[in-house]
A and B are shown apart, each in its own frame.
Chain A
Amino acid sequence: MLIAILILFPLVAGVLLLALKSKTANVATIYLYAALHLVISVWLWRQPSSLLPFFRVDDLNILFLLVLSVLYLGVAFYHGDFLKQSGLSPRWHTWYAICLLLFNCCMTGVILSTHLGLLWVFVEGTTLASAPFIYYEGNKAALEATWKYVFICSVGIALAFVGIILLSMSAGDTVSLFFDDLGANAGKLSPFWLRLAFPFILMGFGTKMGLAPVHAWLPDAHAESPAPISAVLSGTLLNTALLGILRVYRVMDLAGQSAQARILLVAMGFLSLFVCAVFVLKNRNYKRMLAYSSIENMGLIAIGAGLGGVGIFAAMLHMVAHSLGKASLFLTAGNILGHYGTKDVAGVRGLLRVDRATGWLWIIGFLALAAFPPFPAFLSEFLMAGAILDGGYAWMLVPFFLLLTVILFGMGHSVMQMAFGDPNPSVRSQRTPLVNYIPQVLFLAVLVAVGLAMPAPVYDLVQRAAVSLGGGR
C-alpha cells in the first residue's frame, strides 16, 4: 500500500498539476511528495513490505531508498527559491514540476523493483524524465549536453538489454528474471551465458552510473543542468544504476562466477579514478569538477564492491557519504553561480567575503568529499584500503592513494582559490534566502553524525545491505 503511494502519487499529481497550471500548487506538490517520500521510507525501513510481486523493500534497497528520500527532501526545499527565481512561465513551471516528480518516481521504481526487466524499464524512464532538465538553459551547450545524455545513455541501456537477454538465455525457460528466483536457482544458470551477460550489463548500467570508460555524457549533463538537478543526478541517479549492477553481481556471486565480474569492477573503478585525476589537474569549470568527482566516487564504490567482504561495507558507506556530500556541493555551486554568474573557476574569487555561509559550505562540503575525518568518506576509504590489503593486493594501494592524492590536490586547489582572496570588483553580493543554505547544512550534519558517532541503526542499515550482497564487516 505504502509502496503504491510512492509510485502512484507522482502520476496522479502530475495529471492534476497539468490541469491546474498553478505555480503555488506545483511547489506545494513537490514539498508534499518529498515529505511523504521520507515518512514512507522511514516507515518501510521499520516495517518492510511489498507490492504485488514486483516491488519490495529488502535489506539492500532500503539503504538506497532512504538516501533518495533524504536527498530529495533537501533538493525540494532548495527548489522553493530556485523556482521563484527561475522566471519560468506557468506552463513550463508545471512541466518542470511534473518531470521532477516523474524523475523521482522512476528512481523509486528502480530501487524497489524485484524484477530485472522492470528495473530496466524504470532506468530508461529516468533518462526520459531527466533529459528536459539538462536542456533547461536552452542554449547551444545545453542542447549538446542533452543530445549526448540521451544518445549515450540510450546506447548504454540498449547494451544492458542485450545483457538481460543473455541472462535469460542463461536462465533458460525454468528460471524467471525475478532477483529472488535468479538468486535461489543460481546453480542452475548456465555459466557461459552468465559470464557473457555481465559485461553487457556492467557496460550498460555503468554508462548510467558514470563509470569510465563509458562516462562521456556525465560531465556535460551535470554541468549544464540547474544546480538542484545536478544534485539529484549525482546524488541518486548514479546510485540507482549502481543498484542494478549490484543485483546482477550478486547473482554472479551466488552462481560462483564472480571472479571475472570482480576484475571488471575493480578495473573500471581504477580507470574512473584515473580519468578524474587527469581532469582535475587542468580544471576550469567548477561544476564539471564536481561531475568528474562523481566519476571518481563511483569508481571507488565499484572498487569496493569488486573487492568483496569489508569492501562491500565500505562501498555502501561511501555511497551514502558521496550522495549527501556531493548534493551539498552542487547546491552550494548553485548559490555561487547566483552570485558570480559564471561557472569558471577563474571568475570566482573571494567567496568567503562575498557570502560567508556559502564559502564555508563550499569548503566543508569539499572536506566531506575529500574524505577528511570526521566525515564518513574517511572511514569508507580507510576500510577500502583495508579490503585491498585483505585481498592480498598490496601493490594496488600505490595507484589507489596516488590517484586519490592527485584528485585531492586538484580539487583542493580550485576550491581554495575560489574561497579565498579578494572578490572581483564587478561582483555584487546578492541576498541568498535561508532555504538555499538549509539543505546543505542538513546533509553535512547527517554526514558528521554518521561519521562521528555512527548511530547503531545506521550501522545496522549499511551492514545489512552489505551482508545481503555477501559482504559486510
Chain B
Amino acid sequence: MINFLIVLFGVTMLYVAATSRIEAYVRMLVAQGLVLFLLVVADWQSFHLFNLLFLAVETLGFKAIIIPWFLRRVVRRNGVFRELEPYIPNFFSVVIASLIFAFGFLLAYGSLDFARDIKPLYFGVSVSTMLTGLLVITTRKMLVTHVAGYMMLENGIFLLSLSMAREMPLLVNLGVLLDIFLGIFLLGLFATKIKSTFDESKIDALTHLRD
C-alpha cells in the first residue's frame, strides 16, 4: 500500500512535467498533499499523538487544500490558464523528468550498500521529485508555476524527511514549520503585490534588473 502511494506520488511529477495546464499543476499538488497525508497516517506509530495531529493538519489542510485553493484563485483571477512557450518543449521536459527518475532510483539502489536501513523507494522518488521540481522552476515562465514548482520541491523534501521520521522526528517538524511560514510569505507577496503591478504574471516581466 505504502509503495503504491509513493509510486503514485512519482507519477504526479511525471504528469506535471508533461502538461502545460496550470490547473493541472494545482490538481497534482492536491494529489501530492493527499498522498503525504496518507503516508503520515500509515506511519502513525512513529509519531506522538500531538505530532501526528500537527502533521495531518499540515499535509491535508495546508498542502492539499489551502495552497492549491489559493493558487487556483490566482490563476482564475489572472485568466492565464496555460504555461505558454516554456523554455524547453514539454516533450523534452518529460524525457528529462524520466531520466531524473531513472537517476533517482539508480542512486537509491546504488546507495543501499552504504546506507543504514534506507528505504530505496522513498529515497528514489523524493530525490526525483526535488529535481523535477527544480526542473519545473527553471524551465517554465509563469510565476504561479514557480510557486507550484517550489511546493513540489518542498513536498519532495517532506517525503525524504518522512523516511527519516523514526530516527529524526525533529527534522520532519522543522521542515513543516518553515513550509507553512514560507508558503504564507510567498503567496502573500504573490497575491498582494505581484499581480497588481505586473501586467502579466510572467517571469519575463521580472527582467528589468539586469546588467
Q: Are the CB atoms of A158 and B157 closer together than 8 Å?
A: yes
Q: Are the CB atoms of A143 and B193 closer together than 8 Å?
A: yes
In the complex, how many angstroms separate the beta carbon of B72 from the nearest chain A beta carbon? 20
A:115-160 near B, CB below 8 Å: 117, 120-121, 124, 128, 131, 135, 140-141, 143-148, 150-151, 154-155, 157-158
- Give the CA-CA distance A172 to B167 in the complex, in Å: 7
Q: Are the CB atoms of A148 and B171 closer together than 8 Å?
A: no
Q: Are the CB atoms of B168 and A148 closer together than 8 Å?
A: no
Q: Are the CB atoms of B160 and A124 closer together than 8 Å?
A: no
In the complex, how many angstroms separate the beta carbon of B102 from the nearest chain A beta carbon? 18
In the complex, how many angstroms separate the beta carbon of B160 from the nearest chain A beta carbon? 5
Q: Are the CB atoms of B114 and A158 closer together than 8 Å?
A: no
The reply to whether the CB of B181 lies closer than 8 angstroms to some CB of chain A is: yes
Given contacts A128-B181, A154-B182, A168-B167, 5 further A-B contacts (CB under 8 A): A158-B150, A169-B115, A173-B167, A192-B111, A288-B211
Q: Are the CB atoms of A190 and B114 closer together than 8 Å?
A: yes
Q: Are the CB atoms of B171 and A164 closer together than 8 Å?
A: yes
**Sampled A-B contacts (17; CB under 8 Å):** A121-B174, A121-B177, A124-B178, A143-B193, A143-B194, A144-B208, A154-B150, A154-B186, A158-B157, A161-B178, A164-B171, A172-B167, A190-B116, A191-B114, A193-B114, A219-B209, A288-B211
Which B residues are CB-close (under 8 A) to A288?
211
Size of the B side of the interface (Cβ < 8 Å), in residues, is 39
Which A residues are CB-close (under 8 A) to B144?
none
- Give the CA-CA distance A158 to B150 in the complex, in Å: 9
Which A residues are CB-close (under 8 A) to B118?
169
Q: Are the CB atoms of B157 and A162 closer together than 8 Å?
A: yes
A:181-203 near B, CB below 8 Å: 190-193
B:88-137 near A, CB below 8 Å: 111, 114-116, 118, 130, 134, 137
The reply to whether the CB of B189 lies closer than 8 angstroms to some CB of chain A is: yes
- Give the CA-CA distance A273 to B198 in the complex, in Å: 34
Q: Are the CB atoms of A161 and B157 closer together than 8 Å?
A: yes
Which A residues are CB-close (under 8 A) to B116?
169, 172, 190
B:176-209 near A, CB below 8 Å: 177-178, 181-182, 185-186, 189, 193-194, 197-198, 206, 208-209
Q: Are the CB atoms of B206 and A144 closer together than 8 Å?
A: yes
Q: Which A residues fall within an 8 A CB radius of B? A: 117, 120-121, 124, 128, 131, 135, 140-141, 143-148, 150-151, 154-155, 157-158, 161-162, 164-165, 168-169, 172-173, 190-193, 219-220, 223-224, 279, 282, 284, 288
Q: From A157, which residue of chain B is reached at the shortest CB distance?
A: B178
The reply to whether the CB of B35 lies closer than 8 angstroms to some CB of chain A is: no
- Give the CA-CA distance A148 to B134 in the complex, in Å: 15
Q: Are the CB atoms of B206 and A279 closer together than 8 Å?
A: no
- Give the CA-CA distance A151 to B171 in the complex, in Å: 22
Known: A158-B157, A165-B157, A165-B160. A145 touches B209 (CB 8 A): yes
| The one of B167, B170, B178, B194 that contacts A147, using a Cβ cutoff of 8 Å | B194
In the complex, how many angstroms separate the beta carbon of B170 from the nearest chain A beta carbon? 6
| The one of A150, A164, A191, A193 that contacts B185, using a Cβ cutoff of 8 Å | A150
- Give the CA-CA distance A372 to B41 in the complex, in Å: 63
- Give the CA-CA distance A311 to B20 in the complex, in Å: 50
- Give the CA-CA distance A190 to B185 in the complex, in Å: 36
Q: From B154, which residue of chain A is reached at the shortest CB distance?
A: A158
Known: A147-B194, A190-B114. A120 touches B164 (CB 8 A): no
Which A residues are CB-close (under 8 A) to B157?
158, 161-162, 165
| The one of B177, B178, B189, B208 that contacts A150, using a Cβ cutoff of 8 Å | B189
In the complex, how many angstroms separate the beta carbon of A256 from the nearest chain B beta carbon? 16
Most B CB within 10 A of own CB, among A154, A191, A223, A282:
A154
Q: Are the CB atoms of B211 and A282 closer together than 8 Å?
A: yes
- Give the CA-CA distance A361 to B118 in the complex, in Å: 58
Q: Are the CB atoms of B206 and A147 closer together than 8 Å?
A: yes
The reply to whether the CB of B161 lies closer than 8 angstroms to some CB of chain A is: yes
Q: From B193, which residue of chain A is reached at the shortest CB distance?
A: A143
- Give the CA-CA distance A193 to B127 in the complex, in Å: 14
| The one of A151, A173, A191, A192 that contacts B186, using a Cβ cutoff of 8 Å | A151
The reply to whether the CB of B146 lies closer than 8 angstroms to some CB of chain A is: yes
| The one of A146, A162, A168 that contacts B189, using a Cβ cutoff of 8 Å | A146
Most A CB within 10 A of own CB, among B157, B160, B168, B185:
B168
Q: From A144, which residue of chain B is reached at the shortest CB distance?
A: B206
Q: Are the CB atoms of B171 and A117 closer together than 8 Å?
A: yes
Which B residues are CB-close (under 8 A) to A154?
150, 182, 186
Which B residues are CB-close (under 8 A) to A146?
189
The 6 tightest CB contacts between A and B, nearest first, are: A192-B114, A173-B167, A220-B209, A144-B206, A168-B168, A172-B116
Q: Are the CB atoms of B150 and A165 closer together than 8 Å?
A: no
Chain A proximity mask over B142-172: 1 for CB below 8 Å, otherwise 0: 0100100010011001001100101110110
| The one of A124, A140, A168, A192 that contacts B164, using a Cβ cutoff of 8 Å | A168
- Give the CA-CA distance A314 to B54 in the complex, in Å: 47
Q: Are the CB atoms of A124 and B134 closer together than 8 Å?
A: no
The reply to whether the CB of B175 lies closer than 8 angstroms to some CB of chain A is: yes
Which B residues are CB-close (under 8 A) to A223?
209
- Give the CA-CA distance A131 to B193 in the complex, in Å: 14
Q: Are the CB atoms of B197 and A143 closer together than 8 Å?
A: yes
- Give the CA-CA distance A161 to B156 in the complex, in Å: 11
Which A residues are CB-close (under 8 A) to B143?
147
In the complex, how many angstroms separate the beta carbon of B128 from the nearest chain A beta carbon? 13
Q: Are the CB atoms of A140 and B197 closer together than 8 Å?
A: yes
- Give the CA-CA distance A168 to B154 in the complex, in Å: 18
Q: From B178, which residue of chain A is reached at the shortest CB distance?
A: A124
Which B residues are CB-close (under 8 A) to A161?
157, 174-175, 178
Which B residues are CB-close (under 8 A) to A128?
181, 185
